[in-house]
Structure 1
Amino acid sequence: MYTYYTIVNMKKDINKICELLLNVICEFYENDSKARTFGTDTELYHSEIHMLQCIQDNPGLHISAIARKLGITRGAASQTVKRLERKQMIVKEMNQTRGSKVVMHLTPKGETACFNHKCAHEKYNTIISQILTGSDEEQLKFLTDFLLQFEKTLKEK
């Protein structure tokens, strides 16, 4: 028997999708916000590993430039740098060309953490790629458009 897709059914489906998406976001957030060691003997938090990644990807940056890249205040960047220095993930040194600027470099321990952080991202990429394999162009476009619109809306709030 043929049934019509009613507004009531559509609202139920949309509510299920909303609940599922929020559950996925919460699960990801809980996993991502936990301190991890990233192959070292030291726990690192989200802000710390992403600062390490920024330092690795942009060698020779000083505190102000790191803060701008990460979209945080100089004070927050300075505090995170101090924690990373205490955790022996980075070393500070004077810039060879501009003696008044202090730049950060990763220690071998910091390099290990960055490598393992990239591996963790690759695991997520693999999971997502496996799920999306077999999707047609229209499905991928819909999902991309939905996620872009969702991201834009979140940034506006």
Structure 2
Amino acid sequence: MYTCYTIVNMKNDIERICELLLEMICEFYENDSKARTFGTDTELYHSEIHMLQCIKDNPDLHISAIARKLGITRGAASQTVKRLERKQMIVKEVKQTRGSKVVMRLTPKGETACFNHKCAHERYNTIISEILTDSDKDQLKFLIDFLLQFKKALKES
């Protein structure tokens, strides 16, 4: 017997997709907003581990450049740097160039946190790769387009 995919079925599927996507976003947000130790004895928040990663990936940046790179204010960057110093994740160094400037360097503890943060990202990549491994080119293109449109809509709302 031939069954037709009706508008009602499509509406139900779209509603289910919306529910699943929102549940996934909430679950991810809850996980991501928790403080984590990243293999150290010190809890780090999302903004802190991403600043550490920025400092690691961009050596010799001063506080204003770090703020620009992360898209945050200089004040927010300064506060995060102070917290990371107190947590012994970074140290400030004066770099002698034409004019001296203060740059941040990771401590061994900061290096450990960055390494474990990178490992966490690699775990996400592995999970996603395993889920998508049997997808064809059209399915991947659809998913990429959907996610880009969703991201754009979120930014505009």
Instruction: Report the TM-score, using the length of structure 1 for normalisation.
Output: 0.98
Q: What pairs up with 1:1-157 in 2 under 5 angstroms? A: 1-157=1-157
Runs (5+) with no aligned partner, structure 1 = none
In the alignment, the residues of structure 1 paired with residue 3 and residue 86 of structure 2 have an alpha-carbon distance, to the nearest angstrom, of 65
What amino acid maps onto 1:52 in structure 2? L
Structure 1 62/98 Cα, relative in aligned 2: closer, same or farther at 3 Å? farther
In the alignment, the residues of structure 2 paired with residue 131 and residue 51 of structure 1 have an alpha-carbon distance, to the nearest angstrom, of 30
* Same amino acid, percent of matched pairs: 87
Q: How many residues align?
A: 157
How far off is 1:4 after superposition? 1.3
Runs (5+) with no aligned partner, structure 2 = none
Indicate the RMSD between aligned Cα atoms, in angstroms. 0.8
How far off is 1:46 after superposition? 0.2
How far off is 1:99 after superposition? 4.2
Give the match's secondary structure for 1:72.
Answer: coil
How far off is 1:100 after superposition? 3.6
In the alignment, the residues of structure 2 paired with residue 24 and residue 33 of structure 1 have an alpha-carbon distance, to the nearest angstrom, of 14
Give the match's secondary structure for 1:118.
Answer: helix
